[in-house]
Structure 1
Amino acid sequence: MDREELLSATPEDGGASQQKQESPLISLEKDLEFYADAIKEVSIEIMVEGISAYPIFIAHQHEVNLGEVILNKEELNTNWTIQASTLEEFVEKGIISKEKREPFLKVYKKPEDFMCVFVIVPEGANFIYYPYKKGRG
């Protein structure tokens, strides 16, 4: 009987911990929605000024020595700070190895339509592409 109780409790507990893990990403999506126009503006600026054809934005909740802060969570009362960087800086700092540069470029989405976001959480970091809403700007 105890064993059955444990087994039946597992899916619920698993579901609850799953939700907790997703919550930072839910807050990230809200912030990216809120930040979208500003991020797109900076992205276009990076390309127009010839700094890079591949803008990358870093989303984090701590301190990161990469790129430049463009949207500070403390100042904006949001959950995530966004920093602007480029593919070139990521390669230079070894985050993307020289060997991975070409494969990265193959999956890099049009910066006019998507923001490339390097999301840093305590468990690790990963790239996501978040679409800009159509009819903006």
Structure 2
Amino acid sequence: MDREELLGATPEDGGTEKQKSPLLSLEKDLEFYSESIKEVAIEIMVEGISAHPIFIAHQHQVNIGEIILNREELNTDWTIQASTLEEFVEKGIINKDRKESFLKTYKKPESFMCLFVVVPEGANFVYYPYKQGRG
């Protein structure tokens, strides 16, 4: 699933602003968080913790990973937690026999953050490009 799919249809189809996706606020927060998330991803890889960092974006409570950006402390809409492919497999979120298939779609972690976005309707993986700039 890509970013456009997750963010849903744009208001071009009738201009119904009332049905604005809460995921639009996620995109805004990811712009703000981008550098911090990239630093954590690099740290996870450099320290040998995992070659496949995964970040969980949520607005409630999840029991995976560690909080790195708390929405209450930062006055944003989304909390981000850092995890790894290994923890996702260990906790059964990614089935062991689906791991290889997941790895085939896993994008370059130096260029994209792998997000597991949790919303009331469910959860899905999204790849979001890091902000270009100082690097």
Q: TM-score range by the shorter chain?
A: 0.7 to 0.9
Calculate the TM-score normalised by the size of structure 1: 0.85
**In the alignment, structure 1 residue 114 sits paired with structure 2 residue 94:** no
Runs of 4+ in 1 over 4 A off after TM superposition: none
Please, what is the CA RMSD of the aligned residues? 1.5
The structure with the greater share of residues assigned to helix is 1
CA contact (8 A) 2:35 2:131 kept: no
Letter of the 1:121 partner, please give it.
Answer: V
Q: Which runs of 5+ in 2 are unaligned?
A: 1-12
2:33 to 12, 35, 44: 35
Q: In 1, distance between residues paired with 2:64 and 2:36?
A: 19
Calculate the TM-score normalised by the size of structure 2: 0.86
Q: How many residues align?
A: 123
Equivalent residue for 2:94?
Answer: 96
Residue 125 of structure 1 deviates from its aligned partner by: 0.2
Compare relative contact order (CA 8 Å, sep 6+) and give the higher one, 1 or 2: 2
Give the greater-gyration-radius structure (CA): 1
Local SS of the residue matching 1:118: strand
Q: In 2, distance between residues paired with 1:30 and 1:49?
A: 29
Equivalent residue for 1:8?
Answer: none
CA deviations on 1:54-73 (whole Å, 9 max, x unpaired) are: 00000000011100000000
Percent identity between the two aligned chains: 76
Residue 136 of structure 1 deviates from its aligned partner by: 2.7
